[in-house]
Amino acid sequence: MSTPLQGKVAIVTGGARGIGAAIARRLAADGAHVAFTYQSSGDAAEKLVAAIAAAGGSAQAIRSDAADPAAIVAAVEKVVGQHGRIDILVNNAGIAVMGLIDAFSLDDFDRTVAVNLRAVFAGVKAVLPHMGDGGRIVNISSTNALRMPVTGLAVYAMSKAALSGLAQGLARDLGPRGITVNNVLPGPVDTDMNPEHTEFGASQHAFMAIRRHGRPEEVASMVAYLSGPEATFITGANLLVDGGFAA
């Protein structure tokens, strides 16, 4: 088995379920030690650590609230204390609160920004002192950053679209160190947050060129590529994994 990330240390935020769990499994399968954070899915986190270990990989779960910058710093310091450095940061944690603007509360707005945007900035700041030249930062954005064909997700789309400017700016700031910063933009993916076999799930296929939900592993493969040795010249990019949703 190819292990292009052998010896690397990775952090994946929001990694206990869905896309995050698939990313953790893939990076571990590629040889990295993967520390992933979770907030409330303790049972799922423990099962994922066990599954990765059973497959020959190395992982640990850290309880951490993505909306709390101090918790992000504490998670990073725990990993650095055990492994000495961080080579890969995957900012995956995110939330989607639906609601038309006239009924959307400022509290929901603030929490969306805190988890989907501020946590990315805080995570990068926490990791950078411990990331050597040639590190990798990958943010999980959304195809909705480019296309929003339904109502009720304006704030979610805004929070994901903002990651584009952040990644492009960070790519400039960190380019001299060979650290790449990229966004992966999934379309509808079959997880418990957006299951395919529901009325809403099926309705999304009308907007797509490939009329099915994606699989978490298909997103994880893009993250693994961007984290690996073949992606050294890709930075500041928004890479769609969306079945043509934004085409």
Domain 9-241, what fold? Answer: Rossmann fold (3.40.50)
- Give dist(CA 6, CA 8) in Å, integer: 6
Query: Is a pLDDT exceeding 90 seen at residue 140?
Result: yes
Entry pTM: 0.97
- Give dist(CA 175, CA 23) in Å, integer: 24
User: Would you state the pLDDT for residue 33?
Assistant: 98
User: Would you state the pLDDT for residue 4?
Assistant: 98
* Nearest of 216, 232, 43, 41 to residue 140 by alpha carbon: 216
Mean pLDDT of 91-101: 97
Q: At what angle do helices 69-83 and 119-127 cross, to 10 degrees?
A: 30
User: Would you state the pLDDT for residue 2?
Assistant: 83
- Give dist(CA 238, CA 231) in Å, integer: 14
Percent of the chain clearing pLDDT 90 (strictly above): 97
156, 207, 225, 245: the catalytic one is 156
Instruction: Name the token pair of 175.
Output: 């380019």
Cβ neighbours of residue 161 under 8 Å, at least 6 residues apart?
A: 145, 146
* Every domain of the chain and the residues it spans: 9-241
- Asked about 156 being catalytic, the answer comes back as yes
Instruction: Name the token pair of 184.
Output: 């992966």
In the structure, what pLDDT confidence band is assigned to residue 193 with cuts at 50, 70 and 90?
A: confident
Asked if 236 contacts 38 with a C-beta cutoff of 8 angstroms, the reply is: no
Query: Residue 91 forms beta bridges with which residues?
Result: 139
